[in-house]
Chains A and B, each alone.
Chain A
């Protein structure tokens, strides 16, 4: 295998430290004037792509392409990705319609087109975006491409020049190691790495890296909606608990609630 050409799709989402609020129309979450940042799982994918390059494994990393679909602010996170080490970026211009953006299948089709066009042989995606929490795009993409996939990776290793990849992920009761051959799709989970802060000199350099703007139509994809959001509401407030005197009290309370 000649070299790794990695695609890292990323998303700009409401910052995870912000408590989201439902908008007045009850159609989604209020995004205006709210702090946004790079989806934390995508930060992990970027970091892993950069580390694959830094590790100087059996296959050289030739290209790291970051991609984000979204409105005029999407380039913010693309610059972050390039400051962390991505070589170039695609901004797929999708106007903000307040509907949560394109659905996972649309995104997967869009990525499929980019993979083909750019001759990508490894796609590293966050396992989910923390806004929609859908967690489907990676799997759909692997299906569309007919590539092997390893989800929720906690460790990624390129084993040899032939493109054998070992991915470890956590499962109930332990860890599971999967082996596959490139090209493949990997989705990332929290324990994979600890993303770096971009250094100031790298942030400055990122401003000069190429950022290309495209549309869904350029990639031959249509933004078709298959789902309709009927209503979004806050979860009911949690009720306060009660105090029990001692262990006996606890046991009888649990019995009373049918938990024992």
Chain B
């Protein structure tokens, strides 16, 4: 293949797998091929997404992700590459530049970005754009959709998502931030926490209370949803230093006397919670898929290293003590993948219950966590060195374990809804 001698960036895109010194035996191992596309269960459009995203992500090698993590630089280049090729609109309406594919395809996209080495850093840099504006797509007016979705899909507006508050956590119905009517709009005040990408976001989708809890008929009422400009002096955005994913900022927001015009309210007043609920299963599926990507990335590194690293005159991967935990991790990741993609398929078919989306997210995050841990252990001391990337994966894999809903709340959900047991909280 004479071509390989010609060094040209575009042709080097996917040459990366070679840099690992693959042994001949490992060449066609599915778990060791960089962003393999042989999963027998994928549909044609999922396979297409996997292939195209793999091409784009191949331009972002491991040292890119190590560097943005070290320097706390937002991965703008990936964001822009994906935006310029129309990927941010994968699930959004064609009328506004989207492609109207399903969560089944979006999950493949997010898994592939994470699996390319981007991990949660790569995935989170666009995560909110993929499904966050579903309430707008579903409940917004035509004028709002034109005004908001078109620039979002084109990458001109970056959006973030504000629901959680420091004093309420997962108890969303207790939200305290308020919006009160004032002239032609509302005045917002309160605080929000765990708002990813707020440092750079132009817009925020924010849920606040418009009617006090004691004056609503149902506890799920009284909250309203707004999509509005974020970078205003009345909003103070403070970054939270954290364990992993340093490149993508996470913030607390304090706001007072923040005027928001009525045209920026999504849907009916007091009906915001219902709109936010729509799309929660989708978000779990996507986070689960991102966890899978990270898990497969860790497993791949571990398997390649175990095949290459010689101790006592043979590759360490020849020892069952190394080999079996990795094999076990592949099975667990693959089992979680089956459930995530089943949940995605069901979602696309209109299924609204949450047991598969929740359980899939739970299983994917746990399998990924175990794979990341084992990847470090397989690397021995090298696994603790940043140079081998797996320690970064471990720091990032806590995100899908905790967010957007904790493991314990998922167990509660299954306990109550599937097993019919009394509510414990």
Taken together as a complex, chains A and B put the C-alpha atoms of A33 and B36 apart, in Å, by 11
Which A residues, 190 to 227, have Cβ-Cβ distances below 8 Å to chain B?
Answer: 190, 194-195, 197-204
B263 interface contact, C-beta 8 A? no
Is the CB–CB distance between A35 and B37 below 8 Å? yes
Could you tell me the dominant secondary structure of chain A's interface residues?
A: loop
- Tell me the B residues contacting A by CB distance below 8 Å: 1-4, 6, 8, 10-11, 14-18, 22, 24, 27-28, 33-34, 36-38, 48, 52, 55-56, 84-87, 89-90, 94, 97, 99, 101
Which chain A positions have C-beta within 8 A of B34?
Answer: 17
Cβ of B377 to closest chain A Cβ, rounded Å? 29
Which of these, B17, B33, B99, contacts A200 with CB under 8 Å? B99
> Is the CB–CB distance between B3 and A40 below 8 Å?
yes
* Interface set of A (CB-CB < 8 Å, partner B): 15-21, 33-35, 40, 130, 133, 190, 194-195, 197-204
Q: Which residue of B lies closest to A83 (CB)?
A: B52
Is the pair A197, B56 in contact by a Cβ cutoff of 8 Å? Answer: yes
Q: Is the CB of A200 within 8 A of B52?
A: yes
Contact (Cβ within 8 A) B38 A33: yes
Beyond the given A15-B14, A16-B15, A130-B1, please list 11 additional residue pairs across the A-B interface where CB-CB is below 8 A.
Answer: A16-B11, A17-B17, A19-B24, A21-B24, A21-B27, A40-B11, A130-B2, A190-B11, A197-B56, A199-B86, A201-B94
A17 touches B15 (CB 8 A): yes
Contact in complex: A133, B2 (CB < 8 Å)? yes
- For A202, the chain B residues whose CB sits under 8 A away are 86
Instruction: List chain A residues, Cβ under 8 A from B85.
Output: 197-200
In the complex, which of the residues A33, A35, A130, A204 contacts B3, with contact meaning CB atoms closer than 8 Å?
A130
Q: In angstroms, how far is the closest chain A Cβ from the Cβ of B76?
A: 18
Chain A residues with CB below 8 A from B52, complex form = 197-198, 200, 203
The residues of B that contact A201 with a CB separation of less than 8 Å are 86, 89, 94, 97, 99
Chain A residues with CB under 8 A of B84: 199
CB contacts (< 8 Å) of A190 on chain B: these are 6, 8, 11
- Within the complex, what minimum Cβ distance (angstroms) separates B172 from chain A? 33
What are the residues of chain A within 8 A of B10 when measuring CB–CB?
Answer: 194-195
Can you show 23 pairs from A to B with CB atoms below 8 A apart?
A: A15-B14, A16-B1, A16-B11, A16-B14, A17-B15, A17-B18, A20-B1, A34-B28, A35-B36, A35-B37, A130-B3, A190-B11, A195-B10, A197-B55, A197-B85, A198-B52, A199-B84, A199-B86, A200-B99, A201-B94, A203-B48, A203-B52, A204-B101
